[in-house]
A and B are shown apart, each in its own frame.
Chain A
Amino acid sequence: AQSVTQLGSHVSVSEGALVLLRCNYSSSVPPYLFWYVQYPNQGLQLLLKYTSAATLVKGINGFEAEFKKSETSFHLTKPSAHMSDAAEYFCAVSDEKSSGDKLTFGTGTRLAVRP
């Protein structure tokens, strides 16, 4: 069965600092991987997705993520944090063999940005 682990339920960075949010997955076949962002009391918005076309994926708001098969990781990064990046971030995995129609979500990482 597929699964997702997000290391660190809370991450705090200074404005202008590098953002690194970690995601490791478990999947028996090449997965599809997603990062979503959620602002307080709102739904989730897609930041980016990996579908095997390229290992480095660029998303919205300056975020990007790199798929590393050897490390089973899909970490999210942004070179310079902005106050508006404060939100909760979810990594999700899907593979057609084990889940068919479903996404499996991690438990989320709450990002705080200090002025």
Chain B
Amino acid sequence: DGGITQSPKYLFRKEGQNVTLSCEQNLNHDAMYWYRQDPGQGLRLIYYSQIVNDFQKGDIAEGYSVSREKKESFPLTVTSAQKNPTAFYLCASSLASGGSYEQYFGPGTRLTVT
């Protein structure tokens, strides 16, 4: 089955540690996205990538980093510089970026930092 996988489903970390969230897609999509979801705030874009080896900052990129070395993979690292990292993180992909192309979402990773 084609789709987007995110692992793990739940992640717990101590404050001050970096953590990497996995996102893999087998849809052959060029564009991939990372969102953060907090209660009552909808989805906010962290980073996005239109093509391999290229990515752009979204609206809330501070404290996060990404890489896009392969078309199917777009891992997100939450660094210790992120002041409030506890949230639900969603990865998405689309055939191409922007316009009428809908985004397909993974199941999400819930990160808790204490």
Contacts and interface: CB of A to CB of B under 8 A. Distances in A.
A30 B57 CA distance: 25
Interface stretch (B11-19, B71-79, B100-108): B100-108
Contacts, number: 60
Given A106-B42, A108-B42, A100 B106 contact: no
Identify whether the interface residues of A are mostly helix, strand, loop, or mixed: loop
B78 to A, nearest CB: 18
Given A43-B107, A43-B108, A105-B42, A99 B100 contact: no
A41 interface: yes
B98 A101 contact: yes
A107 interface: yes
B42 A107 contact: yes
B40 A44 contact: no
A50 to B, nearest CB: 9
Interface size on A, as a range, is 20 to 34
Interface string B82-114: 000000101010000111101111111010000
Nearest to A34: B102
B107 A9 contact: no
A51 interface: yes
Contacts of B100: 32, 49, 51, 94
A108 B92 CA distance: 18
Contacts of A102: 45, 48, 58, 98
Contacts of B106: 43
5 contacts: A9-B40, A36-B105, A43-B107, A101-B50, A101-B56
Interface of A: 9, 32, 34, 36, 41-46, 49, 51, 90, 94, 96, 99-103, 105-108
